[in-house]
Amino acid sequence: MSTKTAEIPAVWITGASCTGCSVSLLNAVSPTVKNLLIDPVIPGKHLNLRFHATIMAGAGEPVMQVLQTTQKANPGGYLLLVEGSVVTKDDGLYCTIGETAGKHITFQDKFLELAKDSLAVVCIGTCSSFGGIPAAKPNPSGSKSVSQALAEAGIKKPVINVPGCPPHPDWMLGTVAMVMLKGLPGADDLDYALRPKAFYGKLIHENCSRRPYFDAGKFAKRTSDEGCLFSIGCKGPMTYADCSTRLWNNGVSWCVGAGSPCLGCCEPTFPDDTQPVFEKLNQDRLSRFLIKTRG
């Protein structure tokens, strides 16, 4: 690495999650994860990702020390990337991320400790952004979003939400690159749910390839039918994300393109208020959503 390259330290910690966000990150095509780890993400700036339990080679107490040394050496200067919700029931006992001297370290404790000294917290995925599936009713683990856990602990830190179940690789890498390039986003850069407008600024429904069918009133009865998928549960009219124009898997396809209704996976109300998957959105739910998001 050139001595002129600025290092931005970052740690990625994982709470209650399926690790799907990490898998999605590994699918990044341009830049790749190798580029992320080795090269400057943007000219002159390199993200020094010092901890990621799923992809790092190390294990055990030595790697837990890395979290501590990163925090101590860079107070207020590292990005905290969080995948998964914060488990709080029974003092967070049901989600531990390592051990020190034979004692469990709960995700809740480590997250709050690291958040306190971070530059900002970037929530990777719907679970850390909004609670997601771990926080779905009846939520036996007491799972909470990062914002809720921070507020309850009285910790004030900038939070950026990058939801999705999982998020598109571009949303994760693009958000981190934006912070490295321009600094922390201003209020105008984020929407009401703290999502970057660059990726979550429009409804799926606005640019959907099946929109002409919706406007013409031609609705599919099965996933294999031609037509708009609204009648079989599409949540595109209440979901803010750019899947319909960005596409997934390096531009190959996306949920609606492959015949599945949009599940609303980027929304704060996912999954409790977006399910059942194949049930048509009723006017009442849609109206409540539009009032909430558009004022």
Closest CB to ligand SF4 among residues 98, 164: 164
Give CA–CA dist 249/272, Å, rounded: 27
Give CA–CA dist 254/262, Å, rounded: 9
Closest CB to ligand SF4 among residues 8, 243: 243
Annotation marks residue 21 as catalytic: yes
Side chain identity at residue 24, one-letter code: S
Closest CB to ligand SF4 among residues 129, 239: 239
Annotation marks residue 266 as catalytic: no
Tell me which residues touch ligand SF4 (CB under 6 A): 164, 204-205, 208, 210-211, 214, 228-230, 234, 236-237, 239, 241, 243, 254-256, 262-263, 265-266
Give CA–CA dist 10/114, Å, rounded: 11
Kindly name the residue from 52, 95, 123, 127 that is annotated as catalytic.
127
Annotation marks residue 95 as catalytic: no
Q: Least separation, in Å, of the C-beta of 9 and ligand SF4?
A: 30
Q: Least separation, in Å, of the C-beta of 57 and ligand SF4?
A: 31
Annotation marks residue 123 as catalytic: no
Give CA–CA dist 92/70, Å, rounded: 23
Q: Least separation, in Å, of the C-beta of 179 and ligand SF4?
A: 23
Nearest 5°: phi and psi at 171?
-65, -40
User: Which residue's CB atom is positioned nearest to ligand SF4?
Assistant: 236
For residue 35, give the 3-state DSSP assignment.
Answer: helix
Q: Least separation, in Å, of the C-beta of 49 and ligand SF4?
A: 24
Kindly name the residue from 46, 52, 168, 265 that is annotated as catalytic.
265
Q: Which pair of structure tokens corresponds to residue 89?
A: 């029931």
Cα–Cα distances in angstroms (integers) from residue 84 to residues 79, 129, 240, in the given order: 16, 8, 20
Long-range CB contacts (within 8 A, 24+) of 246-255: 246/168, 246/170, 246/199, 248/168, 249/27, 250/29
Closest CB to ligand SF4 among residues 46, 235: 235
Q: Least separation, in Å, of the C-beta of 41 and ligand SF4?
A: 23
Closest CB to ligand SF4 among residues 5, 250: 250
105 touches 89 (CB < 8 A): no
Q: Which residues are catalytic?
A: 18, 21, 127, 165, 205, 208, 228, 234, 243, 255, 262, 265
